[in-house]
């Protein structure tokens, strides 16, 4: 899968928004999923598997759970299913944190 931004309908105004990912501001467009904003920003992975392999969006429809992250303190949010809102605070997750019963990391 290659990242590419999905444009809004022709003539529809794009409303910019900003989310914070691991403390870094990321610009996006209202109406897109968090995964869509991350991919458009050039981030193709945001967590790692136990083996160290990078993980990001795999299925893109909320089935595989490869894109989970913490949003506004809520862990295990599927980035492909969660529409971004201005000011969202996103923290990437690691498998090690999940194994220890912790969220985030």
Give pLDDT tens digits for 60-77.
898 988 899 999 999 999
Strand positions, DSSP E, 1-105: 16-21, 24-29, 45-48, 54-56, 68-71, 74-78, 89-91
Q: Could you tell me which residues are beta bridge partners of residue 90?
A: 21, 71
pTM of the model: 0.78
Task: Please write the tens of the pLDDT for every residue from 30-64.
Answer: 999 999 999 999 999 998 888 888 888 999 898 98
Per-residue pLDDT band at 104 (split at 50, 70, 90):
very low
Whole-angstrom Cα distance, residue 56 to residue 66? 6
């Amino acid at each position: 899968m290659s990242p590419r931004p999905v444009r809004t309908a022709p003539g529809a105004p794009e409303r910019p928004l900003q989310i914070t990912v691991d403390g870094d501001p990321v610009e996006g467009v209202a109406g897109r999923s968090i995964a869509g904003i991350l991919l458009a920003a050039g981030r193709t992975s945001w967590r790692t598997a136990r083996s160290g392999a990078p993980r990001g969006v795999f299925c893109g429809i909320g089935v595989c759970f490869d894109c989970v992250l913490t949003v506004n303190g809520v862990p295990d949010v599927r980035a492909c299913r969660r529409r971004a809102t201005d000011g969202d605070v996103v923290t990437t997750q690691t498998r090690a944190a999940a194994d220890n019963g912790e969220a985030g990391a």
